[in-house]
Amino acid sequence: MNKEYDIIVIGSGAGLNIAQAAREKGQKVAIFENGPMGGTCLNRGCIPSKIWTTVADVIRQAEDSRSIGVSMKAETVDFALIRQRLTKMTHGDSKSIERSVEGDKGIDLFKKTAEFVGPKTIKAGIKTVKADKIVIANGTRTMVPAIPGLEKTGYLTSEDVFEIKTPPRSLIILGGGYKAAEFGHFFSAIGVDVTIVGRNSRFLPSEEPEAGEAVLEGLSKHVDFYLGYEVKEVNVQGAMKRVSLKSGDDHQELDAEEILVCTGVRNNNDLLQPEKSGVDLDINGYIIVDKQLRTNVDGIYAFGDTIGRNMFRHNANYQSMIVWQNINGQTVEMDESVIPHAVFSWPQIASVGLKEADAKARGIEVLIGHHRYHDTGKGYAMDSKDGFVKVVVDKESMSILGATVCGPEATSLLQGVVYMMMSGKGSPAPLMRSQVIHPTLSEVVDRAFRGLHVH
């Protein structure tokens, strides 16, 4: 039994942008979603993690205020209230989306794992559904390493950690990326004994080295780190979980009540099996698309995490607009040159474009600007010793190649750089012609650009 639609959307995160646009044109839509409505960002990513890290920020700000003459700390942490606020936002919005979708007679919602069974044909229980246009935005899930004893011992991931009712007294986080940085920040701030174990000898290796070092230094006041270690085995020791580590000739055994796995992500295409519809995948199973986000199969598009690059919700939202325009006969290519991102840890990092090493590896002669928060009036007033702005500029064209802000309000400070990169030739000239309110942290960005030099 087959049913045909104008368009099938797989995934209810940014995929909902496509579904909504199609319904505004009166098209018949099928949506597949095997988890809570709203996708990763709403339910197990951006939103709940920021509810948690905001709590951690307040706690650390209070503790660090001693350096400016104020002694205070959080008297209590009401985890029940934190959980209630998180649930109200995530579960509430997810249910609201589901009610809205189910109330639209032009949409059929399949709360199932989509699986291709033939050309542009997807299994839906005992039925199959088809459409000439199919949009794949099925996201990713945590990549759990094959560590002996891990499955038997049990662990948490970002898919289920936000559902805990009480925090563990001790926690070992496996991974050295942004998830480890953010979860380590939150759990340590609320009083959990946290240890982070990373295979890479660097923490946050995809960031500018100075930024990764600043977060490592900031978190090390509250978190134990084992970087450059391989996890050899996990087992249960009484009421604790034991993680056995190795780095060269050094062997360590760490015990904690719980383990949180933050070792990267894997695509969901092993479940979707788009190759049964002729869609090409890369060596890691991600969907191959062109600059218009078209797959090799006419009428099938893919975007977001499932294409395996720039895995940020704001980028998925942008890509959804590109897909919709191309579905409707336009020829629009995505621009991946200016994609900002952030790490909400302690301190905060925001970054866009090329790092210094990346630009030099491409043979570009660059100018570097670097300025510390503490060397401005507002930065000194805040006593922000670890904050800085670093910018990378093409020496020949004077176009901005990239920037990193590390410290309080990093995400807000970076956004102005993003706008300059997207304007005209991406020159910092608008900043050079502008007055900056004094004293503010915006002066740190200003001075970084005014201090460009060969490095």
DSSP string, 56-90: HHHHHHHHHGGGGT-----S---HHHHHHHHHHHH
Query: What does CATH list as the number for 150-263?
Result: 3.50.50.60
Q: Give me the residue spans of the domains in the chain.
A: 2-140+266-327, 150-263, 347-454
CB atoms within 10 A of CB 76: 6
Q: Provide the phi-psi class of 164: left if phi over 0, else alpha when psi is between -120 and 50, else beta.
A: beta
pLDDT tens column, 35-51? 999 999 999 999 999 99
d(CA 19, CA 15): 7
- Cα 191 to its chain centre, rounded Å, is 25
Which pairs from 283-287 meet CB under 8 Å and 24+ separation? 284/308, 287/136
Residue 303, φ and ψ in degrees, nearest 5: -160, 175
pLDDT score at 73: 85
Query: What is the SS3 assignment for 357?
Result: helix
Angle at 94 between CA 90 and CA 99, to 5 degrees: 150
Which ranges of the chain have pLDDT less than 70? 1
How many Cα atoms sit within 13 Å of 44 on the Cβ side?
19
Distances (CA, A) of 142 to 97, 155, 160, 264: 24, 12, 11, 6
Query: What does CATH list as the number for 2-140+266-327?
Result: 3.50.50.60
In contact, 374 and 178? CB cutoff 8 Å: no
How many Cα atoms sit within 13 Å of 351 on the Cβ side?
23
Distances (CA, A) of 384 to 59, 165, 217, 377: 16, 35, 13, 11
Task: Tell me which amino acid residue 300 is.
Answer: I
In contact, 114 and 34? CB cutoff 8 Å: yes
| Cβ burial 146-163 (10 Å sphere, 16+ → b, else e) | ebebbeebebbbbeebbe
Fold match between domain 2-140+266-327 and domain 150-263:
yes
In contact, 322 and 308? CB cutoff 8 Å: no
Which tokens sit at 353?
Answer: 């474009």
- Cα 267 to its chain centre, rounded Å, is 15
% helix, strand, coil for the chain, step of 5:
35, 25, 40
Give which of 238, 46, 280, 32 is closest to 135, Cα–Cα.
Answer: 32
| Domain at 347-454, CATH class | alpha beta
